[in-house]
Structure formats: C-alpha cells, structure tokens
C-alpha cells in the first residue's frame, strides 16, 4: 500500500475512534457504491451521519476540508441515498467532515465539522 494510502487509513481509524469516544455508533466504514465511497457511516441521536475523512501531513496546500469539492459532495450524496434506500431509513441525516493533520512528529490533530454541507 502506498504511503499516502496508509496515512489516509490511519486518519480514518483515528476519526472512527474519535466518533466512538463522542458516543457515536459506527455503522459502517469504507462503504462503496459503483462511483463513491463513504469513509464512515455513524449514528447518533437517531441521525445517520455520513462522514468524509480528509488526512494530510502538512497544510502547504490548504486545510484538508478544503479538498471536499462540490463534485465530491455530489458523489457522497448519491452514495448516501443508495445507503438510505438499502437501510430503509427515513429519518434525519447529516454530512460531516473530519480533517486529520499529522505533524512532523506523527501527532494528529482532528477537526470535526458537523453539518459540513447539505445535499443538493
């Protein structure tokens, strides 16, 4: 596995642990449709939360969350719709972003952005 993929997986693992500590239930990770993957699907207070995790080792090119483009949001929305149909969930949903930044020593800083975007 390429180094950037290993860093991304580590970021997703830390994000899932972070959510568990905040009382979320993790329903699924790396859930795939034909065109998109949802990094984490979590549940809290009767709300299904679709979480995109962005991990970086520096901020030279901007904050990790800045890399969730409108096109990526649309892909996540479509994947979430497929998940909701399978699960027959008609309740509330939310789209969050968790950014993970590793410093030079390997220490991670997480930023959880709730309601980061709304479906179109």
Overall size of the chain counted in residues: 120
Place of tokens 């990526």: 72
30 lies in which domain range?
3-117
d(CA 82, CA 3): 31
Report pLDDT digits (tens) over 48-107. 999 999 999 988 888 999 999 999 999 999 999 999 999 999 899 999 999 999 998 999
User: The CATH number of the domain where 44 resides is what?
Assistant: 3.40.1350.10
Report pLDDT digits (tens) over 21-39. 999 999 999 999 988 999 9
In DSSP terms, which residues pair with 110 in a beta bridge?
Answer: 100
What's the whole-model pTM score? 0.93
The pLDDT of residue 66 is: 92
Number of structural domains (the chain) is 1
């Amino acid at each position: 596995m390429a180094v950037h993929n290993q860093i991304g997986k580590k970021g997703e693992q830390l994000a899932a642990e972070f959510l568990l500590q905040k009382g979320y239930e993790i329903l699924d990770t790396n859930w795939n449709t034909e065109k998109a993957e949802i990094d984490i699907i979590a549940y809290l207070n009767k709300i299904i939360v679709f979480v995109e995790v962005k991990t970086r080792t520096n901020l030279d090119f901007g904050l990790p969350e800045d890399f969730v483009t409108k096109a990526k949001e649309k892909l996540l929305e479509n994947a979430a719709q497929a998940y909701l149909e399978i699960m027959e969930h008609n309740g509330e949903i939310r789209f969050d972003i968790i950014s993970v930044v590793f410093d030079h020593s390997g220490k991670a800083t997480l930023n959880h952005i709730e309601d980061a975007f709304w479906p179109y």
